[in-house]
Structure 1
Amino acid sequence: MRRIPRLLATAAAALTAASLAPAPAAADPAPAELPDRVLAGYLHASFANGSGWVDLADVPDEWDIIHLAFAEPTSPTSGRLEFEPCPAEECPGAPSEQEFTAQIEQAQQRGKKVVLSVGGQNGQVSLETPAARDAFADSAAEIIDRYGLDGIDIDFEGHSLYLDEGDTDFRAPTTPVITNLIGALHDLTGRYGEDFVLTMAPETFFVQVGHQFYGSGQWGGADPRAGAYLPVIHALRDRLTLLHVQHYNSGPVLGLDGRHHTMGSADFHQAMADMVLSGFPVEGDESRFFPPLEPGQVAIGLPASPQAGNGHTPVAEVQSAWDCLTTGSGCSGYTPEQPHPGLRGLMAWSINWDRYNGDEFATEHGRHLG
């Protein structure tokens, strides 16, 4: 038998081993990057209301971030979240869980970020203990993994967040419901890494009102919820994808110009957005200055239609505010000291109400923002 030289034999063996070895698994495609301008909208995923069911597959392409509303806790203080797609008997036309999961994947393949929104008007979440903190993070991760979601949205309203007496510095909070939420969000963002989407949708009372009042106030007796989101935003600012304060369901708010502004008009959006883009002294104290967020972290939250909530603003007024904030031109009622051309986009409550209204929000604002 003819002997094969050692080098040739080694090469032959290597080729044989290579041919028998399983092919390397294809790497998962990198998550799509969010565009420079975004529209974020809430999709009624776990409940029905008068706007009607909208399949993820039918969400117009203008929406870049789709918030699934809502995950809610088993009790206000348990921290443990539950989320199930709305059953067909409550939401006619709703898909099965398997179909819903497939629709999420298809939306992501179209470049959308699909995010779990927690709370809402009825979902009170008070993380009073470390056990509740851990249950929140663990159960949120279970839902995110179960449906293959891209991140989490914190939409705490009502009495979920407040500041204890003596908790006066947003840079070093001591109230358990604040510190435990911060801890849970640090946990979640740490688990999933830099591609994890973290958004927040506080009401103006929890953010901009902090310019005038913070917690119970220096003399006590004020509403302890005033400005209560500020320590959460500040602690997570390096991990925050988008803050879209709800510029609706709001009373008049004191702006940086020393004037009160009322929702539903361009000057309200200009004044409220400029506060988080420029920063402001908390409770008027310059030694407690809330630093500005990056423009790319900020969007304006709006009702998508007159039926969606108080403070609906006509398309022309919204676009006037957008142009004022991004270019410094066409301002009325409030003028920022400097334009913020990197302002990220708009948020709407909700995609369902926009569909009900003929997709005006997505179509008109999608076109204007480019």
Structure 2
Amino acid sequence: MTTHRRWAAATALTTAILLSLSPAAQAQPAEPIETTSTPPGTSALPDRALTGYWHNFSNGSTVMRLSDVPASYDLVAVAFAEADPTTPGAVTFNVSSEVSDPLGGYTDEDFAQDVAALQANGQSVILSIGGELGNVIVNNPTSATNFANSLIDLIGQYGFDGVDIDLEHGIDPTHQEMALRQVSAAIGPDLIIAMAPQTLDMQSPAGAYFQLALNIQDILTVVNTQYYNSGTMLGCDGQVYAQGTVEFIAALACIQLENGLDPSQVALGLPATPRAAGGGYVNPSVVVAALTCLETGTGCGTFTPPNTYPGIRGAMTWSINWDATNGYQFANTVGGHLDS
């Protein structure tokens, strides 16, 4: 999710992926696809939600307490939980000294109080697993149970509303599903489950990440795909689009919208500033244009969506800390659209 992530390799386009996508999207927009049911884990979330990541580290962006996150962020993903080196599959979390020291001492207890403060303000807070450097491996029943038990403990300790899956070093959909269902069974239907796959991971329903999303659709809240650090990719119409354009964002989101996910489970992930990613930054107004394209079928540039999706969930940014360095332009622009 950071500036130095690998992205050049994602420009390779394979014949197998091309064949998996239908050219039918070149037709004129048909009837809108509405949200058919209330997704799980949404009792505290608005129908249109803005997600942002809070850094538990320092990387040149603004270091802040969790309670300093603006109210415009409906869903705050805490980045990141780390792999427990003593227990395969398990994860741990503590406030980093990179955050605590600049803030003059910011303890785990302070953080837990801030989680509660955001929740009292109507916001939701989830724990993100993975990231660019994180390497949590869940690949058998034992590691799945270890993952679930450790996450349940952290939810109890800090009061998190759920979890975000941002595993960028490979994913085992069978055992990751097993783990998430154990957490869901323990916490209940209000558990928020978000995902933040890289662009390439959601090119085809045959991909492992996409399989996981479809397999857990009954407990899945939202997929915030990272539409950056991508190079060129295929849209749902089988055409090639370059990152950093409204066509790229809308045409790639269309793949999920046309292949099984409910519109309310789909959101658009973009960097808050050029420094927040290696490539693919767009002005927040372009994110609004992509949402409008998918909502209404207008302003899509050269891309024509096969349907409109007025129930699309919203947007995500990497990150709140980077947005703070830019006067919260992303939150003000995109959040303002979602609130309208």
Contact 1:270 1:335 in 2 (8 A): no
Please state whether the residue corresponding to 1:331 is helix, strand or coil: coil
Distance 1:230 1:58, change over 3 A: same
Contact 1:265 1:318 in 2 (8 A): no
Contact 1:303 1:348 in 2 (8 A): yes
Please state whether the residue corresponding to 1:275 is helix, strand or coil: helix
Distance 1:123 1:89, change over 3 A: closer
1:41 to 35, 38, 52: 52
Q: 1:120: which partner in 2?
A: 131
Q: 1:143: which partner in 2?
A: 154
C-alpha distance in 2, partners of 1:89/1:127? 28
Please state whether the residue corresponding to 2:208 is helix, strand or coil: coil
Contact 1:40 1:64 in 2 (8 A): yes
Q: 2:14: which partner in 1?
A: none
Residue 177 of structure 2 corresponds to residue 182 of structure 1? yes
Task: Work out the number of aligned pairs and report it.
Answer: 297
Q: Following TM superposition, by how much is the alpha carbon of 1:51 offset from its aligned partner in structure 2, in angstroms?
A: 0.4
TM-score, structure 1 length as denominator? 0.77
Task: Render the CA deviation track for 1:22-48: whole Å, top value 9, x for unaligned.
Answer: xxxxxxxxx962111110000002x22
C-alpha distance in 1, partners of 2:99/2:115? 21
Please state whether the residue corresponding to 1:118 is helix, strand or coil: strand
Q: 2:256: which partner in 1?
A: 276
C-alpha distance in 1, partners of 2:173/2:162? 20
Distance 1:241 1:301, change over 3 A: same
Residue 305 of structure 2 corresponds to residue 352 of structure 1? no
Q: Following TM superposition, by how much is the alpha carbon of 1:88 offset from its aligned partner in structure 2, in angstroms?
A: 5.8
Task: Render the CA deviation track for 1:110-148: whole Å, top value 9, x for unaligned.
Answer: 011100100001111222322211111111111111001
Please state whether the residue corresponding to 1:229 is helix, strand or coil: helix
* Aligned sequence identity (%): 40
Contact 1:244 1:299 in 2 (8 A): yes
C-alpha distance in 2, partners of 1:129/1:274? 32
Distance 1:98 1:90, change over 3 A: closer
C-alpha distance in 2, partners of 1:332/1:201? 26
2:83 to 69, 73, 86: 73
Residue 323 of structure 2 corresponds to residue 367 of structure 1? no
Q: 2:74: which partner in 1?
A: 64
Letter matched to residue 85 of structure 1:
V
Letter matched to residue 263 of structure 2:
P
Please state whether the residue corresponding to 1:205 is helix, strand or coil: helix
Please state whether the residue corresponding to 1:243 is helix, strand or coil: strand
Q: Following TM superposition, by how much is the alpha carbon of 1:84 offset from its aligned partner in structure 2, in angstroms?
A: 0.6
Q: 1:293: which partner in 2?
A: 261
Q: 1:255: which partner in 2?
A: 235
Contact 1:51 1:352 in 2 (8 A): yes
Contact 2:64 2:99 in 1 (8 A): no
Letter matched to residue 293 of structure 1:
L
Task: Render the CA deviation track for 1:140-168: whole Å, top value 9, x for unaligned.
Answer: 1111110011000000002x32xxxxxxx
Calculate the aligned-residue CA RMSD, in Å: 1.9
Q: 2:194: which partner in 1?
A: 199
Contact 2:77 2:125 in 1 (8 A): yes
C-alpha distance in 2, partners of 1:76/1:336? 48
TM-score, structure 2 length as denominator? 0.83
Q: Following TM superposition, by how much is the alpha carbon of 1:49 offset from its aligned partner in structure 2, in angstroms?
A: 1.2
Q: Following TM superposition, by how much is the alpha carbon of 1:75 offset from its aligned partner in structure 2, in angstroms?
A: 4.0
Contact 1:242 1:296 in 2 (8 A): yes
Please state whether the residue corresponding to 1:237 is helix, strand or coil: coil
Tell me which moved more, 75-84 or 50-59.
75-84
Contact 1:297 1:343 in 2 (8 A): yes
Letter matched to residue 88 of structure 2:
S
Letter matched to residue 327 of structure 1:
T
Gaps of 5+ in 2: 1-41
Letter matched to residue 248 of structure 1:
Y
Task: Render the CA deviation track for 1:172-223: whole Å, top value 9, x for unaligned.
Answer: xxxxx33111100111111111110000000111111x26xx5xxxxxxxxx
Q: Following TM superposition, by how much is the alpha carbon of 1:296 offset from its aligned partner in structure 2, in angstroms?
A: 0.9
Q: Following TM superposition, by how much is the alpha carbon of 1:89 offset from its aligned partner in structure 2, in angstroms?
A: 7.3
Q: Following TM superposition, by how much is the alpha carbon of 1:359 offset from its aligned partner in structure 2, in angstroms?
A: 0.5
C-alpha distance in 2, partners of 1:321/1:128? 36
Distance 1:77 1:90, change over 3 A: same
2:94 to 84, 89, 103: 84
Q: Which has the higher contact order (CA 8 A, sep 6+)?
A: 2
Contact 2:164 2:194 in 1 (8 A): yes
1:264 to 237, 244, 255: 244
Please state whether the residue corresponding to 1:186 is helix, strand or coil: helix
